[in-house]
Homo-oligomer: A and B are copies of this chain.
Amino acid sequence: MPSARRLDALLDQLRDRGVRVTAARRAVLAELLDAGHDHIGVEELAARVRRRTPTIHLSTVYRTVDALRESGILRAARLGDQPVAYHLAGDAHHHAVCRSCGATVEFPDTDLDDLRDRLADRHGFAADPEHLTVSGRCRRCVGRGVDSPGTAPGHHR
């Protein structure tokens, strides 16, 4: 599906929900479509939006992503201690972030099926995480023996 078409589809989705379609929302969605699979923070998103429409205010972008998220069009992901980043809902996935080097790995939502079952069986809890960030150590850092648990303390920033 061409990107302009996808944009229209998303905008229709908004209208169907009774959420208004405005220049800011169009612009934000266009940028996110453009960004493909990348996750973008609000500040960066505002910068990109302003390249084409300089009048759009940062606080509007905050409100916009919030509205789009509530409509289920966007997902919010907080990786490590970085600011929240957004991406189109599309394929549900989550992240594993290396505590030593910050590298990230994506994994599909289906990897949570077992956990989901357990929570449902045991607590009747319907897990439906918008986004999950699992910390640990990536292959490279495990191999290097970097900062294994139980080692002398050190800062991780």
Contact = CB atoms under 8 A, between A and B. Distances in A.
A23 interface: no
Size class of the A contact interface (CB-based, 8 Å): 35 or more
Contacts of A155: 70
Contacts of A119: 96, 105, 107, 111, 134, 136
Number of copies: 2
A21 interface: no
A81 to B, nearest CB: 10
A71 B153 contact: yes
A138 interface: yes
B126 A136 contact: yes
A99 to B, nearest CB: 8
Given A135-B128, A149-B128, A118 B123 contact: no
Contacts of A152: 17-18
Interface of A: 17-19, 70-72, 96, 98-99, 105, 107, 111-112, 114-115, 118-119, 122-130, 132, 134-139, 142, 149-150, 152-156
